[in-house]
């Protein structure tokens, strides 16, 4: 079984924040495939779809961002899957707003959710779809910036960005990681 995990924080308070873009992308995949993400399993909300004849679990960990690794490790164990079948979607400060980067290896670049997953998997490689949210304005701390809503000019572009990130995640499942990197890492 493959897993697509979107990172975010549970609760209405965080719904519209930059840190919850992973949840938005998973919601988009679910909506496009008429899947409900309501079942509770392994400290996550989950739903299941079939992609090219293969079962894919969509998950939104409910552990809060910094403890995402606990939920991901439990999901992998529960589904008897391994990290090479895992795609994790999350926000990235070091990418300009609107850019997407697909990677299988590398550092967490300070992202605590990614760091938690890397630690829980003992460094095993897994695919990541990093969604660019850009750097905070002068004088705004990164920890505060990620917990704020998007700027009005970004909101206008958000649906397209979420849809593109959803396509990147599904591309990893359908075409493999290398092809997804070739398609989504280039700058248009």
- The residue annotated as part of the active site, out of 2, 18, 19, 99, is 19
Q: In the numeric block, which tokens belong to residue 24?
A: 């938005």
| pLDDT score of 106 | 87
The DSSP annotation for 146-181 comes to TTSBPPHHHHHHHHHHHHHHHHHHHHHHHH-HHHHH
Task: Give one word for 124, left, alpha or beta, with left for phi > 0 and alpha for psi -120 to 50.
Answer: beta
What residue segments make up the domains of the chain, in order of their start?
2-184
- Annotated active-site residue 19? The verdict is yes
Task: Provide the 8-state DSSP code for 24.
Answer: H
The closest alpha carbon to 73, from 106, 26, 121, belongs to 121
Low-confidence ranges of the chain (pLDDT < 70): 187-188
Tell me what the pLDDT averaged over the chain comes to. Answer: 95
CATH number at 2-184: 3.40.50.1470
- Answer for the pair 145, 16: CB distance below 8 angstroms, yes or no: no
> What are the tens digits of pLDDT across the range 25-79?
999 999 999 999 999 999 999 999 999 999 999 999 999 999 999 999 999 999 9
């Amino acid at each position: 079984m493959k897993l697509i995990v979107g990172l975010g924080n549970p609760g209405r308070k965080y719904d519209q924040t930059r840190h919850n873009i992973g949840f938005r992308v998973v919601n988009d995949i679910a909506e496009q495939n008429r899947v409900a993400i309501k079942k509770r399993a392994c400290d996550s909300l989950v739903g299941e779809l079939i992609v090219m004849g293969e079962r894919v679990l969509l998950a939104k960990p409910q552990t809060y961002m910094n403890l995402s690794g606990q939920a991901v490790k439990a999901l992998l164990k529960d589904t008897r899957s391994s990290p090479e079948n895992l795609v994790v979607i999350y926000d990235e400060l070091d990418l300009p707003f609107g850019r997407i980067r697909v990677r299988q290896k590398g550092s967490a670049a300070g992202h605590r959710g990614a760091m938690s997953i890397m630690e829980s998997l003992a460094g095993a490689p897994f695919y990541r779809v990093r969604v660019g949210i850009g750097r905070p304005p002068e004088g705004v701390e990164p920890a505060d910036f990620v917990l704020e809503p998007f700027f009005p000019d970004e909101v206008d572009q958000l649906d397209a960005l979420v849809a593109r990130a959803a396509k990147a995640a599904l591309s990893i499942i359908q075409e493999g990681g290398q092809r997804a990197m070739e398609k989504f890492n280039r700058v248009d």
